Chain A
């Protein structure tokens, strides 16, 4: 277990370093570099100011010096300031991150709670009508553009039926609501974004659960469990599902980047005040220290998600835990 952990942590180093190189390289892509982008937004900047700024920002230095300085600031979590309002990027992201984390953890919860039972049931009744139905649904789920699904649900549930609010996280009178009113209001606002965000992941995970279950059900130890005279429910849940879930934990690590990426679109459509919407706004206004901040932080979050998935994998599998 310890060696496994150490190795896993060692692998993180090149990945994290790679993320910084990638992000920094992206920044250099901008035609004319960051300054031109800044100046382009602010016509009042005179040529003299531009020269002064160039020196202040260190843009007259060779690239490795610039990268070094950027890295140093990054290590202090200094992502620079927003061009738009001069706020530190980190603070801007910090105010938006909780909403995104809420959205994503709810989505993961929904995915697990729905996809795993679906996949298990489809596998147990392999080839039956339920299995076929799930397979078709999985293909459709894979192929549906999330933003379109969002539009349709907004039209149907939001506008035509008026059951659910279609934007933001809270209603106008929110601060005055009692606590249960607040909770109810939040819940109603979260239904559509969470559902849309979870939709694609649902299809993927239920398909994977099914495959994993089918693989496990063939194993000798399942035959042993049946030969012991165990109830079928016990065979499936205690013996098969436990084994089938282990590889699914690693898959969760892969779902994390998809979810975080998906929240850009979902948050934008539902005007949801999270990091995804922040990045969209920043891109539209070329507020690009903010863009870079979001890229780096979302990458770190993904790495963290992967790490957690791997750790729980190692913990769940006694063959790794006790070695």
Chain B
């Protein structure tokens, strides 16, 4: 089964490219200290706002820090936020979706109204409101993104669950008298794993985008810790002086998010033969 999926994935060049880029980024994040030419928080006030040169391939920032080194360290933040936030939302979304889909009736009705409510408040306002009341730091950012991203997934899992629930093997398991958690875990979960995987992959890209936006607004990861979002804040401050401060961090976000989106769409094609053309 897995081998078949892998074979199909290998034929999707774009998805494969996405996977390659993600692998590369993960490597970059893990090996950051050994790879970067400079200490990312080392200030060098004699070399402030220098344009790209041989010594600083993509220039320096307002405190003379090497932008490339900060960019590489930013990979760590982005990937961590992406994975942790999605981890949180996948756990919540899947659990609630399974429960709603399995029990149906009023449990389902209540949970779905909750989902409707969550979906009708623009996520960014929820996040901003929470961050406004809490300290803006990387942990709160991860938690908040994770805690607001689950409703879509809940709806998805519930839908899959409802269609699987009526199938014979689940009915049989009920008649035999298996407990609800058992049925949910052993029989329903495996059937909804494919759409969850797709949605999670796309979700990582979304979470990275949200984190960068928050950090850009000064409500996310705080300097001096380098994140692509807060590096762009500097870019805005020095808009007319140092274009390289704006260009490269954004490009990093674009490439990373693009990689996750390509992989996610590729997985969708591979795992769900119905979709796609």
Contacts and interface: CB of A to CB of B under 8 A. Distances in A.
A29 B134 contact: yes
A148 B253 CA distance: 9
Interface string B102-139: 00000000000110111111111110111111100000
A288 B121 CA distance: 17
A291 interface: yes
Given A151-B250, A155-B246, A283-B219, A294 B125 contact: yes
Contacts of B205: 142-143
A19 B125 contact: no
B257 A143 contact: yes
Nearest to B233: A147
A298 B253 contact: no
B94 to A, nearest CB: 21
Interface in A14-29: 14-15, 18-19, 22-23, 26, 29
**Which of B125, B134, B254, B257 gathers most chain A CB within 10 Å?**
B125
Given A261-B124, A283-B131, A151 B113 contact: no
Interface in A245-284: 257-258, 260-262, 264-265, 268-269, 279-280, 282-284
A125 to B, nearest CB: 13
A206 to B, nearest CB: 15
A139 interface: yes
A111 B246 CA distance: 26
B49 to A, nearest CB: 15
Contacts, number: 149
A15 B253 contact: no
B258 A140 contact: yes
Interface residues of B, number: 47
Nearest to B218: A284
A68 interface: no
A264 B128 contact: yes
Contacts of A282: 132
B133 A126 contact: no
B133 A18 contact: no
A15 to B, nearest CB: 5
Interface stretch (A69-77, A81-89, A190-198, A299-307): A299-307
Contact of A295 (B114, B126, B257, B277): B126
Given A292-B129, A295-B129, A15 B120 contact: yes
Contacts of B74: none
A16 to B, nearest CB: 9
Contacts of B145: none
A268 B231 CA distance: 17
Interface in A34-65: 37
B30 interface: no
A19 B120 contact: yes
A242 to B, nearest CB: 21
A148 B254 contact: yes
A239 B125 CA distance: 40
A159 B239 CA distance: 8
B68 interface: no
A154 B218 CA distance: 20
A214 interface: yes
A206 B150 CA distance: 25
What range describes how many residues of A lie at the interface? 35 or more
B235 interface: yes
Nearest to B228: A145
A265 B213 contact: yes
A297 B184 CA distance: 39
B89 interface: no
B216 A261 contact: no
B209 interface: yes
A264 B132 contact: no
B186 interface: no
A26 B130 contact: yes
Contacts of B116: 11, 14-15, 18
Contact of B121 (A11, A30, A298): A298
Nearest to B121: A299
A148 B134 contact: no
Interface string A104-147: 00000000000000000000001000000000000110111111
B113 A18 contact: yes
A19 B126 CA distance: 11
A31 B140 CA distance: 14
B255 to A, nearest CB: 8
A306 B122 CA distance: 12
A189 interface: no
Contact of B277 (A126, A147, A258): A126
Interface of A: 11, 14-15, 18-19, 22-23, 26, 29-31, 37, 126, 139-140, 142-149, 151-152, 154-155, 159, 214, 257-258, 260-262, 264-265, 268-269, 279-280, 282-284, 286, 288, 291-292, 294-295, 298-299, 302-303, 306
Given A26-B129, A151-B232, A268-B217, 5 more contacts: A22-B126, A143-B261, A288-B133, A295-B129, A302-B120
Q: Which 7 pairs, one residue from A and one from B, show the smallest C-beta to C-beta distance?
A: A18-B117, A148-B250, A261-B122, A261-B124, A143-B257, A30-B133, A143-B258
19 contacts: A22-B118, A26-B129, A26-B130, A29-B130, A31-B133, A139-B261, A143-B205, A143-B261, A145-B253, A145-B257, A148-B250, A151-B246, A152-B250, A155-B246, A257-B120, A264-B128, A264-B217, A265-B213, A284-B218
